[in-house]
Amino acid sequence: MTYNSIQEILDICQNNKIPFWRVVLETDMRERAVCETESFETMRKMYRAMCEADSNYDKSLKSESGMTGGDGEKLHIYNMSGKNLCGEYVSLAMEKAVKMSESNACMRRIVAAPTAGACGVIPAVLLSYQELYHTEENKMVEAMFVSAGIGNVIAMNAYIAGASGGCQAEIGSASAMAAGALAYLEGGSNRQMANAMSFALKNMLGLVCDPVCGLVEVPCVKRNSAGAVNAIASAQLAMAGIESAIKPDDVIDAMRRIGNSMPSELKETGQGGLAATESAEKIRKAIEL
């Protein structure tokens, strides 16, 4: 059982009468020569590592540059005040996304999903969902397989690294992976999962990778929060029965072509975009003192 595109996964699902997540699991079993239990438990370990990273957030930590740390706690306080602008789920996802990304900048243990720079998106969407809706862990692990399948297709046909395709490849891919997984948790069909993925990635096309001082902190941390919210919005569009006019694999192809067109200054070099602003230059000088 092999797939190289989202459509191939959907075809395998239909022809074999199996869910999306099982296609990914059985492919992993064959490629790594492991049994079903080992494959499933490996994914469970990754999910639990996300949970551990979330619970171990330390609001007192600051990154070595001093640019990052404590903002996740600020979001938590604001959410608890009852003044938050978003609903409970979106607010919690924003908070967890920032916390996870700050932990990455502070050299804590995280899960690169699909990269360290985008590590906050998937756990923010999934952990918040389980916390609020008390979904059993096995179901959450199945959702992880859905996200992994989407991420694998993107990696095969485009990029997941900012240095190759800009931030659309990192936050965009993570958001697409999370959107598909969330549609699964909501009981969506395979087609709805694919549509959720399409919406999320389309919304992120063209996003450049422009880290200030070349560090995965500004604007990366806050973009994780935006990626999580985008995933939730995209899943809701799909669950409402809205169809993406552009097929999932065409969206991925578009992302690859856009990445190829980006100048090197906008692909993780820290030489363009926000990294080339007056504000960024002031930060750089302060760090070098």
Torsion from C-alpha of 253, 240, 175, 211, nearest 10 degrees = 90
pTM of the model: 0.98
Residue 209 lies in a domain: yes
Q: What is the pLDDT of residue 206?
A: 98
Instruction: Please provide the average confidence, as pLDDT, over all residues in the chain.
Output: 97
Say which residues have a Cβ less than 8 Å from residue 27's Cβ, sequence separation at least 6. 1, 2, 3, 149
Share of the chain above pLDDT 90, in %: 98
Amino acid 267: pLDDT: 98
Question: Does 140 fall in a domain?
Answer: yes
The pLDDT value given to residue 289: 74
Percent of the chain with pLDDT over 70: 100
pLDDT at 1 over 80: no
Dmax over CA atoms of the chain, in Å, equals 62
pLDDT of residue 166: 98
What is the number of domains present in the chain? 1
Distance CA 186, CA 117 (A): 27
At residue 8, the pLDDT reads 98
CA distance linking residue 264 with residue 259, whole number of Å: 10
Whether residue 220 contacts residue 181, with contact meaning beta carbons closer than 8 Å, is answered with no
Tokens of 214: 């070349």
Confidence of residue 188 (pLDDT cuts 50, 70, 90): very high
CATH number of domain containing 175: 1.10.4100
pLDDT in tens, 123-174: 999 999 999 999 999 999 999 999 999 999 999 999 999 999 999 999 999 9
1 falls within a domain? no
Residue 118 is assigned to a structural domain of this protein: yes
Q: Is position 155 within any domain?
A: yes
Rounded CA gap, 89 and 199, in Å?
19
Residue 258 lies in a domain: yes
Is 64 domain-assigned?
A: yes
Which of 13, 4, 11, 1 has the alpha carbon at shortest distance from 253? 4
Residue 2 has what pLDDT? 86
Q: What residues make up the domain containing 32? A: 6-288
Q: Model confidence over 197-239: pLDDT tens digits?
A: 999 999 999 999 999 999 999 999 999 999 999 999 999 999 9
239-282 pLDDT, tens digit each: 999 999 999 999 999 999 999 999 999 999 999 999 999 999 99
Any idea of the CA torsion for 113, 116, 121, 125, to the nearest 10 degrees? 60
